[in-house]
Amino acid sequence: MNTPVRRLNPTLKLAAALVALCAAGAAVARAAEQYRHSFQNSLVTSDTMWVIQTGTYYMSPGSWTLTGIDFTNTNQAGAYIDTSAIDANANATYSTTVTFRNVTAHAGGATSALRRQAVSVRNGATINIFSGTLTKEHADTVIDSSEAVNVTGRSTFHGEDILIQAIAPRVRALNIASDSVNKVTLVSSTLTTTGSAAALNFAGAGRAYLDNVAIATTGNSAPGVQFARSIALLDYDGGTIRTTGENSSGLWLGAGNVATHVKAVLKNVDVRADQGAALDINTHIPDLLEGPTIPENGSVGSTGLYEVALENSTLSGALGSIRITSSATNGAATASAEIPTRAIITLQSSTLAGDVSVRSAARLELTLADSRLDGSLRAFDNTAGILNLSGATTITGTLAATGAATLEINLDNHTLAAPIHLGDTAGASINAGADSRVAAPITVDPGATLRFNLAGAGAFRAGTVNLSGRLRISGPAILDEPLALNGSDATIIFANAAGDDLTLAAGATGTASLVVESLAPGALGQSQIRLVVDETGSLSANTFTLAGSGTIDLGLATYTLENSGSGAYLVIGSPASGGYIGSLLNITAAAPAAFLGSLDPVHSHLASRREAIGGPLSPVRKPIAKGDSGSLWMRFRAGSLSADSDNLFTSFDQTTTALVVGGDINWDTASGDSITAGAFADLSNAEFDFPGSADGRTRSVAGGLYASWFHHSGWFATATARLDSLKHKLDTPAADLRARYNNHAVGGAVEFGRGIAWRAWWFEPALQAAFVYIDSAKFTTQSAAAENRAGVNIGSTRAVRALAALRASRTFGEGPFSLHARLAAVHTDASGGSVRAAGFSSFTRQLEGWSGEASIGAACNLGAFGRVSAECGHTLADDYDRPWTLSIGYSYAW
């Protein structure tokens, strides 16, 4: 069955066609209207964006995606994309997120007042650009828009597969402008400049993440990446930095007068500066668009901290791979203004192609792990450098320091093949870990100092050492090549000698002085310590000498130096060689003599009282001397002791001052004898001056009792007892040793004699026996050096003194004035007082034997009851003498 075909009415066909045509036209019109609303050159209200002034596009709040847009404008205004959030009246409101794909933005034109950035990201906005070209052609002198892309104000910028270029003088490619920028990310992109400006500039705090990014500049003073007055982070993985202009660094890091902390991490990045330094940390402000701010008074007080880490990367520069300078000399700043700069640079499997230099108070810590330095490291002026080397690291140049620079070289399982050269007053320390050595020559000029700090390293080995300055050794070191000692300044210092500290495998030439700062505890007390071992057996007798006096006082002992073919030896002296032990022994030896001498004021007072009772004209001189009576008395005494100046050990000087006060009562027996009993107190201070810088002091607080019997025929007997509390102090600054210890002394004396009156004379021969016991003391020496802190034991001391004396007095007139003289022969026996310390044998020192004493004096009555006296004397002995003694006294009787 055939179905008929229904045909449309021609009128309906025409109507349908007209409807379709109208719909298409409406669609075209709507699209055109949207385009016109978006990009026309006047303010138009729209739901998608606000268009303000010629060629300037402000994005409204929200998220937008624009594809295939060309913002290039050839009129005077140029192109400008600003992701500020604004409303219809151009008031800022909320942040905006805009994503561009395949976009071109060209800020050009010829009128400076209308020049802008190609892209500005600010006020919390986010802009993402995937594929495109962002260009700035001219600098702006009105709002200082000197970059193609500017990121500021809590904003975020992300770019992939884009080219950011500045093709005008003093115009940057990408500028991170403020401290509040969130993040900048570039992936597979390129930054270029042609003028004197950085391709990537950190003008404020910011974080930038670069992945496979190429950075290039062709202008002079145009670094690839620049950090100025920043607290910034750069994370750079893959890419290149290339600069070709004069003084154009690959990375330029500068410090302003705010605290600066820059951290850069580069992985798989090749940095090359054809006419500059690859990494330039420089607070001197060159002719750069952006630099540190220096106040007009020239005062700069900030400190820059820069941390740079490289992995599988290269720094190559015609002016050095790394150049660090800490100064600010431009503008209003004075030529001496300096900004302290500290750099911490770490390389892992990376290369430095070019010298590393540090100048002007800068501080560098450089770590090379399995890396390479094709060049030298040079520290100048008053800089400080720390070099950490480990693994298969190679250095082809020299490690050099001049001026007052210092280097610290830390070796960890590493052989250093780079020569070391220290000039002027520079210093260097080699801190060697296990399996480390220096294979290249070391040269130390006059005035310079090299330190081997080798604790825990086992035997450290080095090659040739040319020593004209100072070498300080802490730990055992072996020199495989000849040691060349040049000039009078050549000095080897042993910090903590333990024996066999320096081994010369190939001998030595020339001469040098040796200094020993201290001995290790295990070596202290040994009779012989070999400092230098000469394996060739050819050391001459004058190769080494001890600096200074030819002896070294290490506190607990004194040593001299002896050279033999096999090495240089410290030889301990006998106790007579002095040292700290000698000083202790001298204090100990002087104590018995000081105690026995302190009994003399009591005996002198009693002799004066006996003369007043039984002497010529006694009723006139002392009408109340006989019978029941009493007296109060005091004596000031002072004296010096000089011990054997011909012997260093026994040589010392002592000065003593003391004040004695006492009181007694007297009564007569029925037979006419007189009996006196009393008590006294004594305060004394003895100052010691030992050889060198050592000195000491003994202070005593004492008290005692005495009694006397005086027969009417002239015979007499006395007994005295005394107890002392002693406080001793000893300081040896040269050896950094101090001692503080206390002990006690107890003793007394008995005396027997007769007083004889003849005309105006009074004679009194007497015999005396005295004894003293001083107890032991135990203490630990005080010192900043642990090896000098040692326990010391001082044994107890006993001494007995026998004395025969004759005292004669002459009274003038009716007795108000008299003169007297005294001669005595004394013999002292002493024992004990041994000193043991730090493994030394027991040493003992005593002042004993025969001595002779002579004194003269005068006395005068003051009224009926008072009497004043004065006396001076001199003592000669086998081991010492007392050049002078002085005693001034006063007594009041009733």
pLDDT band of residue 838 (cuts 50, 70, 90) is low
pLDDT of residue 731: 86
Which domain covers residue 80, as residue numbers? Answer: 65-84+93-218
What percentage of the chain reaches a pLDDT higher than 70?
A: 77
pLDDT at 646: 54
In a domain, 489, yes or no: no
> Are residues 179 and 309 located together in one domain of the fold?
no
Residues 707 and 676: beta-carbon distance below 8 Å: yes
Residue 97 has pLDDT above 90, yes or no: no
Does residue 48 have a pLDDT over 90?
Answer: no
Shared domain for 308 and 178, answered yes or no, is: no
pLDDT at 497 over 60: yes
Does residue 52 have a pLDDT over 50? no
Which tens digit of pLDDT belongs to each residue from 401-455? Answer: 999 999 999 998 889 999 999 999 999 999 988 778 999 999 999 999 999 988 6
Rounded mean pLDDT of 488-512?
92
For residue 38, pLDDT beyond 60: no
Q: Residues 211, 262: one domain?
A: no
Task: Provide mean pLDDT across the span 740-759.
Answer: 95
How far does Cα 284 stand from its chain's mean position?
Answer: 28
**Domain end among 176, 193, 218:** 218
Structural domain includes residue 170: yes
Number of domains in the chain: 3
Where is average pLDDT lowest: 254-268, 566-580, 628-642? Answer: 566-580
Residue-level pLDDT at 613: 82
From 347, 363, 397, the end of a domain falls on 397
Position with higher pLDDT, 415 vs 614: 415
Structure tokens at 819: 């003169």
The answer to whether position 455 is within a domain reads: no
Burial class (CB in 10 A: 0-12, 13-18, 19+), 813: exposed
**What is residue 225's predicted lDDT score, i.e. its pLDDT?**
95
Does the structure show a pLDDT above 90 at 348? yes
Residues 209 and 261 both lie in one domain: no
The pLDDT value recorded for residue 64 is 56
pTM of the model: 0.68
Q: Is 788 helix (H, G, I), strand (E, B) or coil?
A: helix
Residues 148 and 265 in one domain: no
Q: Sheet holding 477-479: strands in order across?
A: 415-416, 437-438, 460-462, 477-479, 502-504, 528-534, 567-572, 558-564, 551-553
Beta pairing class for 260-273 and 304-311: parallel
Is 859's pLDDT higher than 70?
yes
Q: Judge contact between 28 and 38, C-beta under 8 A.
A: no
Q: What pLDDT sits at residue 594?
A: 92
Distance CA 662, CA 664 (A): 7
Task: Mark whether 320 and 181 lie in a shared domain.
Answer: no
Q: Which of 111-120, 523-532, 801-810 has the lowest mean pLDDT?
A: 111-120
Q: What is the pLDDT of residue 255?
A: 55
Instruction: Give yes or no: residues 710 and 823 share one domain.
Output: yes
Contact criterion met (CB below 8 Å) for 349 and 369: yes
User: 820 and 679 in one domain?
Assistant: yes
Across residues 755-765, what is the average pLDDT? 92
Q: Is 8 contained in some domain?
A: no
Do 153 and 256 lie in one domain? The reply is no
Q: Which residue has the higher pLDDT, 868 or 691?
A: 868
Token output for 378: 């040079």
Same domain? 273 vs 130: no
Give the pLDDT score at 621. Answer: 46
The two beta strands, 406-412 and 427-432, are: parallel
The mean pLDDT of 250-263, rounded to a whole number, is 75
Asked if 748 contacts 771 with a C-beta cutoff of 8 angstroms, the reply is: yes
> What pLDDT is stored for residue 624 in this prediction?
45
Residue with the bigger pLDDT between 256 and 481: it is 481
3-state secondary structure 298-314: CCCCCCEEEEEEEECCE
Which is nearest to 743 in space by CA: 511, 588, 868? 588
Cβ–Cβ contacts within 10 Å for residue 121, how many?
29
575 in a structural domain: no
Write the pLDDT tens digit of every residue in 302-331: 467 899 999 999 999 999 999 998 754 433
Q: Which residues contact 548 (CB under 8 A, 6 or more apart)?
A: none
Q: Tell me the backbone φ, ψ of residue 735, rounded to 5 degrees.
A: -100, 5
Of 479, 564, 555, nearest to 523 by C-alpha is 555
Mean pLDDT over 516-544 rounds to 86
For residue 732, what is the domain's CATH number?
A: 2.40.128.130
- Whether residue 284 is predicted with pLDDT greater than 90 in this model: the reply is no
Residue, of 374 and 16, whose pLDDT is higher: 374
At residue 557, the pLDDT reads 67
Same domain, 203 and 257: no
Q: Give the pLDDT band (50/70/90) at residue 494.
A: very high
Mean pLDDT, the chain, rounded, equals 82
**In the listed set 354, 376, 397, which residue is the last one of a domain according to the structure?**
397
The reply to whether 159 and 282 lie within a common domain is: no
Neighbours of 133 (CB within 10 A): 19
Residue 603's φ and ψ, nearest 5 degrees, are -65, -35
Give the residue-averaged pLDDT of 796-816.
Answer: 90
User: What DSSP string runs through 794-847?
Assistant: E--EEEEEEEEEEEEEEEETTTTEEEEEEEEEEEEEEEE--EEETTPPPB----
pLDDT of 815 higher than 90? no
Query: Is 742 within the bounds of a domain?
Result: yes
Tell me, yes or no, whether 80 lies in a domain: yes
| Range in 119-123, 575-579, 638-642 with the lowest mean pLDDT | 575-579
pLDDT in tens, 324-343: 987 544 333 333 345 567 89
117-121, 287-291, 680-684: which range is least confident on average? 287-291
Examine residue 548 and state whether it is found in any structural domain, yes or no.
no
Has residue 458 got a pLDDT over 80?
no
